[in-house]
Amino acid sequence: MTSNYNNIASFYDFLSKMVFGNAIINAQRFLVEAIPAKSTVLIVGGGTGWILEEIAKVHSEGLEIAYVEPSEKMVSMSEKRNAGFNEVIFINKTIEEVEFPNHFDIVITPFLFDNFSSITSNQVFQKIDGCLVPDGMWLFVDLQPIKKGVLWQHMLLKLMYLFFKLVCQIEANSLHDTTVLFHQYKYKLISSRTFFKNFICSSVYKKCHGCTE
């Protein structure tokens, strides 16, 4: 089942700021800092595209970016963003539907996996892994599975899933532990930082199966 963020695209960023303040932006700024100059970058589920402007603040030119986003409203908002002199190709599809002729140095998945059931997470993970060069980096940010006893996070998460199920028809009912997948696929954690009282975690992973180190 594919989610549909069209209904929410025009007020998505406002809503996210209302709930999380600057945490969503800061969590992605942390990842953007890890992008090397002149790399090829795959962004999956970029939303309204403000991340392109954050990337342009760090690299105003020299990047080749493929931007995969299934919501046409999100894509049309993203196309209006100032991506500097970086080359951006917008692909209005789900990542499952896209076949790339090349591999990317960097992939970014910002709040993508919290949309998926564990079965879809496994499939999408495998697909994205196949898009990365052997020692490429995966810049991952998502909500973290909650430790017992943190009541406000439980409540907020429940509300969010209820809302996104109703409005965007997302398939997930709960968060999954994606660290297991990174471990299974032999990724190495290079750095990570948490935001919003540990509710959000940004991680820089290096693909290490067959890597040159």
Ligand X SMILES: C[S@@+](CC[C@H](N)C(=O)[O-])C[C@H]1O[C@@H](n2cnc3c(N)ncnc32)[C@H](O)[C@@H]1O
The C-alpha atoms of residue 154 and residue 10 are separated, in whole angstroms, by: 27
- Three-state DSSP state, 76: helix
Helix-, strand-, coil-residue percentages of the chain, each rounded to 5: 40, 25, 35
Q: Does 46 bind ligand X (CB under 6 A)?
A: yes
Is 35 in contact with 10 (CB distance < 8 Å)?
no
Q: Does 105 bind ligand X (CB under 6 A)?
A: no
Choice from 44, 55, 56, 143 touching ligand X (CB under 6 A): 44
Is 156 in contact with 19 (CB distance < 8 Å)?
yes
The C-alpha atoms of residue 111 and residue 44 are separated, in whole angstroms, by: 9
Would you put residue 53 in left (φ > 0), alpha (ψ -120 to 50) or beta?
alpha
Q: Does 3 bind ligand X (CB under 6 A)?
A: yes
Based on CB atoms, which residue is closest to ligand X, 186 or 198?
198
Instruction: Give least dist CB 67 to ligand X, A.
Output: 10
The C-alpha atoms of residue 55 and residue 134 are separated, in whole angstroms, by: 23
Residue with tokens 């032999």: 186
Q: Does 49 bind ligand X (CB under 6 A)?
A: no
Q: Does 74 bind ligand X (CB under 6 A)?
A: yes
Q: Residues 167-196 vs ligand X: string with x where CB under 6 A? A: ------------------------------
Residues 6+ apart with CB under 8 A from 162: none
Based on CB atoms, which residue is closest to ligand X, 95 or 107?
95
Among the candidate windows 65-73, 78-86, 149-157, 196-204, which touches ligand X by CB under 6 A? Answer: 65-73
Instruction: Give least dist CB 212 to ligand X, A.
Output: 29
Q: Does 24 bind ligand X (CB under 6 A)?
A: yes
User: Which residues would be at the binding site for ligand X (CB under 6 A)?
Assistant: 3, 5, 16, 24, 44-47, 68-71, 74, 94-96, 110-112, 115
